[in-house]
Chains A and B, each alone.
Chain A
Amino acid sequence: MEILMSIIIGILFTSATYLMLSKSILRIIIGTGLLSHGIHLLLLTMGGLKKGASPLLGQHASSYSDPLPQALILTAIVISFGVTSFFLVLAYRTYQELGTDNLEKLRGKKEHE
């Protein structure tokens, strides 16, 4: 299962990288969204999969899945959500002010070089 997950994570990273290399801001942010999904799944996979019950003591199981990566991922999800929403509003403001979402057009002026 972990090897399959690694392949899926690889595909997520590939797609994310490809999107981040494109010109439109929206596609770049979609790329970062995919990248964070990939990273969260990677965290979970590296902790080992399907080793037991959910990490709730009420389950009275003999073994539980590792709670630590889950806590880490929960933190990471919230942080990446904060950052993504900030970026999205930033992109929205950029559209409003500059009237474009093409990164190639968002260049400094010549005299600033």
Chain B
Amino acid sequence: MSILHWAVLAPFIYTLLIPITYKLLKRVHTGWFVLPLPILLFVYFSSNIGTTSSLQAKIASIPWIPSLGIDFAVKLDGLGMLFSLLIAGIGSLVILYSIYYLDKDKEKLNQFYVYLLFFMGAMLGVVLCDNLIVLYMFWEITSISSFLLIGFWNNRSNSRYGAIKSMVITVFGGLSLLAGIVLLYLMTGSFNISEIITSVQQNSIISHPLFMLGMICILLGAFTKSAQFPFHIWLPDAMEAPTPVSSYLHSATMVKAGIYLIARLSPVFAVSGYWLWIVSLIGIITLLYGSFLAVKQVDLKGLLAYSTISQLGMIMSLLGIGAAGVHYDNESIYYIATAAAVFHLVNHATFKGSLFMMAGIVDHETGTRDIRRLGGLMKIMPITFAIALIGSLSMAGIPPLNGFLSKEMFFASMLNIRDFNMFHLDTWGVLLPIIAWVGSIFTFVYSMILVFKTFTGKYQPEKLSTKPHEAPMGMLISPIILVSLVVIFGLFPGVLSNTILSPAITSIYGGGVYDLHIYHWHGFQPELFMTIGVIVFGTILYLSVTKWSVIYQAIPVVWNRIYDWLFGETENTFNKLTNKYMTGSLRTYLIYIFSFFTLILSYTLFTKDGFKIDTSLLAPIGGYEAVLSLVLVISTIAILFSKSRLTSIILLGAVGYTVSLFYVVFRAPDLALTQLVIETVSVALFLLCFYHLPRNARKKESIPFKLSNAVISVLVGLVVMLIAIASYSTKLFDSISPYYVDNTYIKAAGENMVNVILVDFRGFDTLFEIAVLAIAAIGIYSMITLRMGGKKNENK
């Protein structure tokens, strides 16, 4: 176990402390005990920046299930470092924020911090594990802890709905990811990401028949986790979680797990044009769709949720385009896309984290998150306003903040893709920058709505339940730190580029140091005009938003409806189906069993060409047998037509005695004896039953003829008959009976072979047959004597 292993496991181990501190130290907010852990982790990861920035990776592995190739292998390289710093860093800030956000007397803090630490550990596991199966394990723990956190206020039905929805969608994706991992294992023979990448570089798996399926399975896993179109629907409903959770899980970390996976497995799949197309198209559609719908939202967190969807789409599309770089060794103009993706990943985590915290503060201080009820808070909450302004401007891509830089790089990569002359990108690729540009305009519009509708305009105290005032300092610390990062990364992007971003890019595609220079001023490049266009058109659209926002009423909410319909219909359909075939009537079930039996047997008999008649083995038909057969058939059929039950019982007796006569004819004296006695006793029992019939049911009734029953019965009889004839005509080998004939006297000292077989050669059968009789006798005795209901009646 290296320190890196302990770093992944530390949050899980730490959860053991939480219930103890919560119970014993009730006066201190439990969050204070949790806070040191992520800070410690952050410090630990930062201390390794030197290793990763010199393109070294910290690798450690301990065997877990070696026979299946599953090792707990961890690897801290540039990409892992970037994500670990985000997880630990934003984790510390969110925990600090939650200390002031959640009330220590009203909330179940022990549960909250246990779930949150589970999530943190799982997320570290996802980004640090080198073994795909272990990665998948942590991946599912993030789903489960996210489910628990969304449903934290489980007395609210909306929370439960959101939790279930996110669980269903992400676990669907998770299982698909597992399938993808297994397929990848079949193609490469390893679960280890590093080994997979090495083996893929030696011989590409693109021509492997499972390649496409494996790719789609893994993409499904990544897209559902990262809320890509059309799996984005769980994210807005996940806003029912407490705001620190939304800020941490649903903007900065968990939703980036899918992005991490795409980035991590890009070297495996990037050679395929489909990968490039699917990832960038889905990303760009998500970008446009999310930013378009965000404008419509009236809830601050709803708006931020759609904005997150849109920004994740942007990062995703950049990763897709970055894959184009694999096809060119010398030119690196496509690597700018990967650089933009990684850079925007950091930027988005900083500004979106701070914006969510801002929304939480507004909610906390005014009692509402509804934009229509808010307004004019600028003077009352100046610090919060400053946070919102910086965050939103960065999100909209205004210079000199960090969002501007990554958006410029985004436009540049989208424009570059037109030069790419593979996979039809030179013709259709022109669509990408246009969609990107339109999406960015909407991004600008909702960013403006977020800050100006909340903080400027008319102050409406009559619509607010509490009197708003500035938030306590403790609550403001975390968003202030995040927006300072927004400004610092904006002004001095070099801080990040060579220490964190560049190693991350290298660890995606390998090779040497990618020399990343982020400039504010590119000269008069097309992307600059695009940004100017975004600002101009965005301002026009924002100012006229009341005029054109009516179009949103014309657009139906498609994907949520589809989800609800699917969910409801599945339940309904199967309910109806089960009610339909599980009728509760024995007759129906017997019909199913008999029909299935008939169908399968006759199908097999005739498709396998199993039917044949061989007359050479047959015994001759004597006069006795003919008469007996006639009697047997007549009495059997007569049972069917007898109107009185007494007649049927007597006829059954007749059948039994005829059968025993058959045993006589066919040289089976012991059988004849037993059959005679047992038939007599059985008939007596039947008569007992008949005698005790309830009076009203004893009157004779004709049995109505049912055609369906008749058809099924005839088919059953026919199939049994055919199989009997066919199997008698197929003798594969001789009987083993000559052994019994030869050895009955010599070895077992008996002359009656049947009896010797029963008690000597095969005595075990007899032992348990005796047991059956004993059990039947005890059962009958207890049925007659034990009266549980009767005793109750006596007591009354």
Contacts and interface: CB of A to CB of B under 8 A. Distances in A.
A107 B585 contact: yes
Given A11-B633, A75-B766, A100-B697, A26 B667 contact: no
A27 B686 CA distance: 10
A99 B694 contact: yes
Given A57-B751, A64-B741, A30 B639 contact: yes
Q: Which of B652, B666, B669, B753 has the largest number of chain A CB atoms within 10 A?
A: B666
Contacts of B777: 82
Interface residue tally on A, bucketed by range: 35 or more
A100 B694 contact: yes
Contact of B632 (A2, A8, A24, A107): A8
Interface stretch (B49-57, B475-483, B707-715): B707-715
Interface in B680-718: 681-682, 685-686, 688-690, 692-694, 697, 703, 706, 709-710, 712-714, 716-718
Given A4-B629, A86-B780, A17 B716 contact: yes
A87 B45 CA distance: 74
Which residue, of B697, B703, B717, B789, has the highest number of chain A Cβ atoms within 10 A?
A: B717
Interface stretch (B240-248, B366-374, B587-595): B587-595
Nearest to B691: A92
B699 to A, nearest CB: 12
Contacts of A21: 587, 590-591, 594, 706, 709, 712-713
Contacts of B773: 78, 81-82
A104 to B, nearest CB: 6
Contact of B639 (A23, A34, A41, A42): A34
Given A1-B621, A17-B712, A101 B668 contact: no
Contact of A34 (B652, B685, B745): B652
B587 A79 contact: no
B753 A57 contact: yes
A15 B752 contact: no
Interface in A49-105: 49-58, 64-68, 70-71, 73-75, 77-79, 81-86, 88-93, 95-97, 99-104
A18 B710 contact: yes
A83 B783 contact: no
B754 A71 contact: yes
A108 to B, nearest CB: 6
A33 B79 CA distance: 75
B422 interface: no
Contacts of B789: 97
Contacts, number: 272
B457 to A, nearest CB: 57
B769 A75 contact: yes
Interface residues of B, number: 96
B667 A54 contact: yes
Contacts of A83: 772, 776
A contacts with B: majority SS: helix
B667 A89 contact: no
B682 A85 contact: yes
A73 B668 CA distance: 10
Contacts of B753: 55-57, 64, 67
A64 B692 CA distance: 46
Given A50-B666, A95-B694, A103-B585, A11 B625 contact: no
B713 A88 contact: no
B757 A19 contact: no
A91 to B, nearest CB: 6
Interface in B729-748: 735-737, 740-741, 744-745
B632 to A, nearest CB: 6
Nearest to B633: A11
Contacts of A86: 776, 779-780
Contacts of B579: 113
A49 B620 CA distance: 9
A41 B659 CA distance: 8
A70 B682 CA distance: 21
B656 A70 contact: no
B667 A50 contact: yes
B784 A73 contact: no
A89 B648 contact: no
Contacts of A19: 639-640
Nearest to A83: B776
B720 A9 contact: yes
B297 to A, nearest CB: 43
Contacts of B772: 78-79, 82-83
Contacts of A66: 735, 737
A46 B777 CA distance: 32
Interface of A: 1-24, 26-27, 29-30, 33-34, 37-38, 40-42, 44-58, 64-68, 70-71, 73-75, 77-79, 81-86, 88-93, 95-97, 99-104, 107-108, 113
25 contacts: A1-B618, A1-B620, A1-B622, A1-B625, A2-B618, A2-B728, A8-B632, A15-B636, A15-B717, A21-B594, A21-B709, A49-B666, A56-B753, A57-B752, A64-B741, A65-B668, A70-B668, A74-B758, A77-B674, A81-B682, A85-B682, A90-B783, A92-B688, A103-B586, A107-B585
The 10 closest A-B pairs by CB, nearest first: A14-B717, A10-B721, A82-B776, A67-B753, A17-B713, A55-B753, A18-B713, A57-B751, A71-B757, A1-B619
Interface of B: 579, 584-587, 590-591, 594, 613, 615, 617-622, 625, 629, 632-633, 636-637, 639-640, 645, 648-649, 652, 655-656, 659, 662-663, 666-671, 674-675, 678, 681-682, 685-686, 688-690, 692-694, 697, 703, 706, 709-710, 712-714, 716-718, 720-721, 724-725, 727-728, 735-737, 740-741, 744-745, 751-754, 757-758, 762, 765-766, 769, 772-773, 775-777, 779-780, 783-784, 789
Given A65-B668, A81-B678, A85-B681, 16 more contacts: A1-B625, A2-B619, A8-B633, A12-B717, A33-B656, A38-B720, A41-B662, A68-B735, A68-B737, A71-B762, A81-B682, A83-B776, A85-B776, A102-B697, A103-B587, A108-B584
